[in-house]
């Protein structure tokens, strides 16, 4: 604009000079108003281009500054491979695993990723593409299932007070309890040797089928019944074909073979005037709903709906109708890294993936958030008693029909799309 004004001013001065010299009319006829406008338009265009160039330079400088700042942050807090020890109450969540792009079904990982971004541990764009931070979880817990010892591996910026800053952006029912550095190639799922779950249930689940469940507070588990329960649980130990204990698995599928090392029910105890017990199961890995079906089948046998021989038959080729116990009481207690600890735990560079120092925090979280939620929800909603009323509709004698199989599949898909309990 300055150049245009200068040109016009120069032309006016030239006109006055020519008028004084008597030559104005001749020169002005040679320079029409159109040519003046053309010159002015060219100068305007040039000025606008220069302005655009200036604006682009400003944006470029801003980007450079932002990149420099990011580089400084990354230099100060370089990304490192770590594992996070997590505990959470699964009530109100659709499992552990995040489904990117879906906000309808809230998961534990949705809240965790948000907290990681807000705390500055990961860049914002890593939230939509979790592969960028090499994220992996040990176990995909099902809808409503809780955890006291879940472990996830990922790359984060090791900022100061990282655990406190992450927890600041998490709801109280989700906590990060520990952090350890691991090898660059560590994968929490692939490096996990075994997983231990617990299942807390009211002992009325083991009552005879003619027991009046309107008075569950009065029920007490007899020692003989507890012995029967534990005897049945021992049958699960070892390697078996558990294709009947999940969905969409054929008997010929090698992945249906799973190895169980421990399964037992502990002594009963009173809580909110009702008697509860905790079942513990440890195995290399578990398929979707496997543990709940293992427990459901034993309950059906103890209550008198099924015979013991159905357990042996369920590992065979035929399709067996196996009931699935409610998900409320299931808790991922801990995950095990025996091979990793043996190889790297004593190399002087890496810590053993054990959480002895966090045991008190784990216990406190369970007593504050997991156990009360299980007990209160069970007492208020009666999920176990409601489920027990469905046992008579199962056919434990014959082969499960196509209708039953399809119905179970639809229910499984409605519950959760994960691959393990």
Which pLDDT score, from 0 to 100, does residue 65 have?
52
Query: Based on the domain organization, do 220 and 302 belong to the same domain?
Result: yes
Q: Are residues 141 and 211 in the same domain?
A: no
pTM for the model stands at: 0.78
Q: Are residues 97 and 139 in the same domain?
A: yes
What are the CB-based long-range contacts (under 8 Å, 24+) for 104-112? 108/141, 108/174, 109/137, 111/170, 111/171, 111/174, 112/86, 112/152, 112/170, 112/174
As given in the structure block, the two tokens for residue 183 are 């090898």
CB atoms near residue 216 (< 10 Å): 21
Q: Which three-class secondary structure state does DSSP give residue 216? A: helix
Residues 92 and 139 in one domain: yes
If asked whether residues 135 and 209 sit together in one domain, one would say no
Return the residue matching tokens 């010892």. Answer: 149
420 part of a folded domain: no
Residue 189 lies in a domain: no
Residue 116 counted as domain residue: yes
Identify whether the C-beta of residue 198 lies closer than 8 Å to the C-beta of residue 279. Answer: yes
Is 255 inside a domain boundary? yes
Residue 421: strand, helix, or coil: coil
Residue written as token pair 């691991």: 182
User: Hey, which residues are catalytic here?
Assistant: 142
Q: In angstroms, rounded to a whole number, what is the distance separating the alpha carbons of residues 242 and 226?
A: 24
Phi-psi region of 194 (alpha: psi -120 to 50; beta: other; left: phi over 0): beta
Pairwise CA distance, residues 157 & 176, whole Å: 16
- Same domain, residue pair 95 and 23: no
Q: How many domains does the chain have?
A: 3
Point out which residues pair with 241 in neighbouring strands.
Answer: 257
Residue 201 shares a structural domain with residue 115:
no
Specify whether 139 is located in the same domain as 257: no
Q: Domain residues for 64?
A: 2-74
CA distances from 325 to 13, 41, 72, 237, 313 (A): 98, 81, 53, 19, 19
The token pair that represents 79 in the structure block: 């990304």
Q: Which of 181, 202, 236 is the last residue of a domain?
A: 181
In three-state secondary structure terms, 167 is helix
Cβ neighbours of residue 102 under 8 Å, at least 6 residues apart?
none
Closest CA to 300 of 315, 327, 320: 320
CA distances from 336 to 150, 352, 353, 416 (A): 10, 11, 8, 25
Pair of tokens at residue 361: 């925090």
198, 323: one domain: yes
Same domain, residue pair 370 and 305 = yes
Residues 234, 253 within the same domain: yes
Closest CA to 288 of 338, 319, 322, 312: 322
Say whether 77 counts as a known binding-site residue: no
Q: Find the largest Cα–Cα distance for the chain.
A: 130
> Does one domain contain both 19 and 154?
no
Q: Which residues pair with 154 in a beta bridge?
A: 82
**What region, left, alpha or beta, does residue 273 occupy, with left being phi > 0 and alpha being psi -120 to 50 degrees?**
left
Domain assignment present for residue 231? The answer is: yes
Is position 379 within any domain?
yes
Q: What is the CATH number of the domain that holds 231?
A: 3.30.70.660
In order along its 421 residues, the chain shows pLDDT tens digits of 545 455 445 544 655 554 555 544 443 334 444 555 566 566 556 656 655 556 565 565 655 555 555 555 566 678 899 999 999 999 999 999 988 666 678 999 999 999 999 999 999 888 777 888 999 999 989 889 999 999 999 999 999 999 999 999 999 999 999 999 999 999 999 999 999 999 999 999 999 999 998 889 999 999 999 999 999 999 999 999 999 999 889 999 999 999 999 999 999 999 989 999 999 999 999 999 999 999 999 999 999 999 999 999 999 999 999 999 999 999 999 999 999 999 998 888 889 999 999 999 999 999 999 999 999 999 999 999 999 999 999 999 876 554 344 444 444 433 333 345 6
User: Contact at 8 Å (CB) between 295 and 199?
Assistant: yes
């Amino acid at each position: 604009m300055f150049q245009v004004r200068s040109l016009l001013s120069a032309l006016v001065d030239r006109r006055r000079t020519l008028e004084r010299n008597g030559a104005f009319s001749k020169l002005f006829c040679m320079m029409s108003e159109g040519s003046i406008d053309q010159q002015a338009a060219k100068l305007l265009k040039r000025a606008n281009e220069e302005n655009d160039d200036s604006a682009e330079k400003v944006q470029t400088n801003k980007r450079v500054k932002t990149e420099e700042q990011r580089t400084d942050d990354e230099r100060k807090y370089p990304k490192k491979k770590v594992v996070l020890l997590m505990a959470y109450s699964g009530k109100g969540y659709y499992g552990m695993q995040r489904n990117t792009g879906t906000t309808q079904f809230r998961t534990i990982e949705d809240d965790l990723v948000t907290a990681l971004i807000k705390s500055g541990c990961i860049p914002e764009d890593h939230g939509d593409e979790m592969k960028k931070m090499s994220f992996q979880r040990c176990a995909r817990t099902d809808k409503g299932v809780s955890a006291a010892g879940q472990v996830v591996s990922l790359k984060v910026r090791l900022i100061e007070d990282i655990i406190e800053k992450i927890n600041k952006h998490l709801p109280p029912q989700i906590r990060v309890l520990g952090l350890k550095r691991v090898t660059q190639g560590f994968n929490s799922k692939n490096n996990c040797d075994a997983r231990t779950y617990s299942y807390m249930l009211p002992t009325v689940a083991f009552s005879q089928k003619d027991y009046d469940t309107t008075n569950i507070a009065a029920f007490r588990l007899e020692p003989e019944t507890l012995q029967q329960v534990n005897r049945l649980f021992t049958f699960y130990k070892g390697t078996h074909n558990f294709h009947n204990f999940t969905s969409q698995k054929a008997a010929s599928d090698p992945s249906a073979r799973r190895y169980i090392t421990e399964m037992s029910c502990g002594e009963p105890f009173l809580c909110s005037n009702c008697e509860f017990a905790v079942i513990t199961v440890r195995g290399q890995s578990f398929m979707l709903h496997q543990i709940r079906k293992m427990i459901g089948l034993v309950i059906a046998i103890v209550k008198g709906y099924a015979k013991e021989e159905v357990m042996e038959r369920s590992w065979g080729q035929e399709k067996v109708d196996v009931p699935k116990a409610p998900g409320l009481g299931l808790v991922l207690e801990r995950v095990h890294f025996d091979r990793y600890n043996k190889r790297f735990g004593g190399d002087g560079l890496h810590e053993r993936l054990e959480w002895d120092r966090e045991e008190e925090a784990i216990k406190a979280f369970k007593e504050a958030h997991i156990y009360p939620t299980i007990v209160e929800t069970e007492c208020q909603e009666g999920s176990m008693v409601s489920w027990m009323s469905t046992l008579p509709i199962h056919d434990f004698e014959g082969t499960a029909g196509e209708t039953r199989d399809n119905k179970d599949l639809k229910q499984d898909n409605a519950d959760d799309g994960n691959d393990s309990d």
